Amino acid sequence: MSSSSAARAIRLPPPCPHLAAYRSGGGGTPFRSLHRCLRPRPPSRAEVRRDPGEVPFCASCPPAAAHRGLRLYACLSCAAVSCHAHVSDHAALRPGHEIALDVDRAELFCAACRDQVYDPDFDAAVVIALTSLSCSRIPPPPPPPEKCAKRRRVEYRPWVPDPKGRAVIGRRSSPLLVQEGNASSASSTTTTANSTTTTTSSPSSSASSPSSLPRGLRGINNLGNTCFMNSVLQALLHTPLLRNYFLSDRHNRYVCQQKSKKKGGIKEKSNVVERKNPARESHVCLACDLDTMYAAVFSEDRKPFSPANFLYSWWQHASNLASYEQQDAHEFFISMLDGIHEKEQDQCKHQSHVGNGDCCIAHKVFSGILRSDVTCTICGFTSTTYDPCVDISLDLDSSRDAVQIATSKLQTCESDTESMLTSQAYGISTLMGCLEHFTRPEKLGADQKFFCENCRARQESLKQMSIRKIPLVTCFHIKRFEHSLIRNMSRKVDRHLHFPFSLDMGPYLSSSILRARYGNRIFAFDGDDSDASTDLASEFELFAVLTHSGKLEGGHYITYLRLNNQWYKCDDAWVSHVSESIVRASQAYMLFYVQKILYYRASQHVFAS
Amino acid sequence: MRSSINRPPTPDANEEPEKEPTLQEIINIKLIESGEKEKLMELLRERLIECGWRDEMKAICRAYARKKGRNNVTVDDLIHVVTPKGRASVPDSVKAELLQRIRSFLTSAAI
């Protein structure tokens, strides 16, 4: 079975008849006595020994036999140890003694079926024993606030309009995009007043003729090395949740101005001197400027837009970056989210949980939680920290790792061993490879010894990152710079990164990483819900790609947007329709993925492309 | 108690005299007692993962399971298929390194 399905949905393999018989025959207590015999082998393995120094061997093998010490199984009913050759004999002699335990791996084996069997209670017992053994002296860390709060997510059910709603839709809607050849949209446009029908043009040109370009596609003028800003703005203008928030007037710039005037009025009363001219509008709010921009960009006007006000507001916010020099797009992105957060935060006083994202729209859309586990290699004690994040910065993994990833990722395509070996010749960097690299257990060097609470000493440790909560919109930032210590300078890495249009983040979630760490046990890790909504929630669709061309000191940013399954290139003021292959070949710097359930791929079947 | 009823007869009932432990067994016990075996196993695991051997074996197992059908494969089958290939494809550098470590352990343990 593929590892992703086993990792996410805990599908129980049906127990073999012998296991079922063993469990029903009062098999509850034997698992508990395991606790005394489980010896953890950090970081994640466990073996079963009666005494710490015990060297088990097969009771039925002659002393010099080769199998005597290999692959031993201990019968769960009578603790007799046999090698894999003799374990069936033991089961045949004594009925009811079929279930045995692999002493080196703590896994169940049915001697009669001669195969591994799985039991959730057993796995739970092993994992609990492992995690409690490793931090025995320290009380378990308090669960993250997410667990205490009610389940935030409601079950996803697609919305269907009631008759009244249907009437409203018919009367007042105009579709965002009219596709040639799409019968349903042609009929729905006839009822609207300001429809944008293009029934005459042929399919090949309808995607590029101005009147049938999707709404919201508008060039942004370069105000002097502001391509970094333009590219990020283009991506944000089409971020589904952000776009919906602003277009549904959730942040009204007039209301916001009034509020700040009131606040300014109160300030004057308390004799705070305003340095600026009081007649001049001193209201600086990035969200208001964004609101203006959304209104301008999603209007009928197709002339390129100049975000001068926004630039001014942003300079007020990030004064250290206020210049006409070239800036980094990622830095601008972070700064902008911070700016929106600052303003919105005044509106709601309490900020219940860090990373919860209820404080402002920017965090609601982009914030997630990263989990970092540091494990002592000597005693297995793990220290866990949770950090909120608004994006995920990935290292471009070296080609060598990519080769190993490429061979292991072959589960996704039908191939046999031979083709696997030939692909070892290719060293392609892929986004999934970078994510694997991000979540791999990393051995911290001898100079970075971590203070282990259990051992009370500095020990060598293993660090592993995973994603505790994925944001609704995930922004991946590819670190395309490397610093050379020899020459003491940084340079840009131009290596091509292959990225998928649909991404499954399941294997990189904390629940999957933990499950894999403890030997793929059937156990509910990290509060994961194994229902359908979780499966859906980890599938993502790409909607914007930010590319950079040039060097570290100077270059140019371009954004590729995916609207209605068509790709559009946004190069400052020039917007054009491009094919998929151009996007795939581009040099990705920032990638924006949105959860699949929030992404509408309208009329994707119309253009076979 | 259920477990005591089912226990096999204690070794004293066995009439056969216990043979001298073989050299192999002595070395094994010494390795385990000193904790060296654990370190060697970890080192071996690390090296085999680094050189891609583990991923190769995984791919072979997957291919075999796909061919036979997911539900017709047992652990024994897989082990029989994979063991010869695995043993043959361990890189020489890994073998050499581990042999060196074992040799140095033996000289230091002074058997």
Query: What does A120-135 look like in DSSP terms, one character per residue?
Result: HHHHHHHHHHHHHHHT
Give the pLDDT confidence score for residue A482 in this predicted structure. 81
Residues in chain B: 111
Under an 8 A CB cutoff, do B76 and A115 touch?
Answer: yes
Report the C-alpha gap between A474 and A389 in whole angstroms: 10
Give the pLDDT confidence score for residue A441 in this predicted structure. 87
Q: How far is CA B18 from CA A82, A159, B29, B32, in A?
A: 18, 77, 17, 22
Enumerate residues 6+ apart whose C-beta is below 8 A from A229.
A307, A310, A311, A314, A327, A329, A332
For A55, the closest of B2, B28, B79 (CB atoms) is B28
Under an 8 A CB cutoff, do B75 and A109 touch?
Answer: yes
Catalytic member of A37, A227, A359, A389: A227
Give the pLDDT confidence score for residue A532 in this predicted structure. 40
- Structure tokens that stand for B26 in this block: 């002595």
Alpha-carbon distance A420 to nearest alpha carbon in chain B (angstroms): 8
* Residue with more model confidence, A271 or B26: B26
> How large is the average pLDDT for residues A565-593?
93
pLDDT digits (tens, 9 = 90+) for B26-84: 888 888 888 888 889 889 998 998 898 998 999 999 999 999 988 888 888 888 899 99
Under an 8 A CB cutoff, do A77 and B3 touch?
Answer: yes
Most confident option among A175-179, A398-402, B30-34: B30-34
Under an 8 A CB cutoff, do B75 and A404 touch?
Answer: no
- Structure tokens that stand for A552 in this block: 């570290």
Chain B residues whose beta carbon lies within 8 Å of the beta carbon of residue A420: 56, 59
Helix axes A227-237, A329-345, angle to 10 degrees: 60
pLDDT band of A233, cuts 50, 70, 90:
very high
- Structure tokens that stand for A164 in this block: 């009244």
What's the pTM? 0.74
User: Does B13 score more than 50 pLDDT?
Assistant: no
Report the C-alpha gap between A257 and A264 in whole angstroms: 10
Give the pLDDT confidence score for residue A198 in this predicted structure. 36
User: Does A560 score more than 70 pLDDT?
Assistant: yes
> How large is the average pLDDT for residues A166-179?
77
Under an 8 A CB cutoff, do B58 and A64 touch?
Answer: no
For A404, the closest of B22, B52, B63 (CB atoms) is B52
Interface residues of A toward B, Cβ cutoff 8 Å, are 1, 26, 30, 41, 53, 55, 59, 63-64, 69, 71, 77-80, 84, 94, 97, 109, 113-116, 403-404, 407-408, 410-411, 416-417, 420, 424
User: Does A103 score more than 80 pLDDT?
Assistant: yes
* Residue with more model confidence, A580 or B6: A580
Report the C-alpha gap between B27 and B56 in whole angstroms: 31
Q: Are strands A555-563 and A450-452 parallel, antiparallel or unpaired?
A: unpaired
Report the C-alpha gap between A130 and A155 in whole angstroms: 33
CB-based burial, A519-547: b 16+ in 10 Å, e otherwise: bebbbebbebeeeeebbebbbbbbbbbbb
Candidates A41, A398, A404: best to mutate against B (most CBs of B within 10 A) is A404
> How large is the average pLDDT for residues A444-472?
84
Most confident option among A18-27, A133-142, A521-530, B50-59: B50-59
* Residue with more model confidence, A498 or A415: A498
Most confident option among A85-94, A213-222, A387-396, A483-492: A387-396
Residue A536 contacts residue A525 (beta carbons within 8 Å): no
Enumerate residues 6+ apart whose C-beta is below 8 A from B101.
B40, B43
B14 lies within 8 A of chain A by CB: no
User: Does A204 score more than 60 pLDDT?
Assistant: no
Among A391, A392, A390, A357, which Cα is nearest to A245's? A357
For A404, the closest of B22, B38, B55 (CB atoms) is B55
Under an 8 A CB cutoff, do A78 and B55 touch?
Answer: no
pLDDT digits (tens, 9 = 90+) for A289-348: 999 999 999 988 888 999 999 998 898 888 887 888 888 899 999 999 988 888 776 555
Q: What is chain A's mean pLDDT, rounded?
A: 75
Under an 8 A CB cutoff, do A411 and B62 touch?
Answer: yes
User: Does A459 score more than 50 pLDDT?
Assistant: yes
**A522-526, Cβ contacts within 8 angstroms, sequence gap of 24 or more:** A522/A10, A522/A12, A522/A118, A522/A119, A522/A120, A522/A123, A522/A124, A523/A10, A523/A120, A523/A123, A523/A124, A523/A127, A524/A10, A526/A371, A526/A468
User: Does A376 score more than 80 pLDDT?
Assistant: yes
Size of interface A-B (CB pairs under 8 A): 59
B7 lies within 8 A of chain A by CB: yes
Q: Is A498 an active-site residue?
A: no
Chain A residues whose beta carbon lies within 8 Å of the beta carbon of residue B2: 26
> How large is the average pLDDT for residues A188-199?
38
B60 lies within 8 A of chain A by CB: yes
B63 lies within 8 A of chain A by CB: yes
Give the pLDDT confidence score for residue A4 in this predicted structure. 41
B80 lies within 8 A of chain A by CB: no
Give the pLDDT confidence score for residue A230 in this predicted structure. 93
pLDDT digits (tens, 9 = 90+) for A516-528: 888 778 777 665 5
Q: Is A90 an active-site residue?
A: no
User: Does A411 score more than 50 pLDDT?
Assistant: no
Residue A241 contacts residue A597 (beta carbons within 8 Å): no
Chain B residues whose beta carbon lies within 8 Å of the beta carbon of residue A118: none
User: Does A138 score more than 60 pLDDT?
Assistant: no
Residue A592 contacts residue A545 (beta carbons within 8 Å): yes
- Structure tokens that stand for A28 in this block: 């509850």
* Residue with more model confidence, A180 or A291: A291
Among A123, A135, A134, which Cα is nearest to A34's? A123
CB atoms within 10 A of CB B82: 16
Alpha-carbon distance A526 to nearest alpha carbon in chain B (angstroms): 27
CA contacts within 13 A on the Cβ side of A452: 23
DSSP secondary structure letters along B39-105: HHHHHHHHHHHHTTHHHHHHHHHHHHHHHH-GGG--HHHHHHHHHHHHHHTS-HHHHHHHHHHHHHH
pLDDT digits (tens, 9 = 90+) for A43-85: 677 788 877 777 777 877 777 676 677 788 888 878 788 888 8
B19 lies within 8 A of chain A by CB: yes
Under an 8 A CB cutoff, do A408 and B7 touch?
Answer: no
pLDDT band of A398, cuts 50, 70, 90:
low
B74 lies within 8 A of chain A by CB: yes
Report the C-alpha gap between A504 and A107 in whole angstroms: 29
pLDDT band of A404, cuts 50, 70, 90:
very low
Enumerate residues 6+ apart whose C-beta is below 8 A from A151.
A529
pLDDT band of A600, cuts 50, 70, 90:
low
Q: Are strands A473-479 and A392-395 parallel, antiparallel or unpaired?
A: parallel
CB-based burial, A287-307: b 16+ in 10 Å, e otherwise: bbbbbbbbeebbeeeeeebbb
Give the pLDDT confidence score for residue A273 in this predicted structure. 47
pLDDT band of A425, cuts 50, 70, 90:
very low
pLDDT band of A501, cuts 50, 70, 90:
very high
Candidates B51, B56, B71, B85: best to mutate against A (most CBs of A within 10 A) is B56
Alpha-carbon distance B107 to nearest alpha carbon in chain A (angstroms): 22
Among A294, A290, A309, which Cα is nearest to A217's? A294
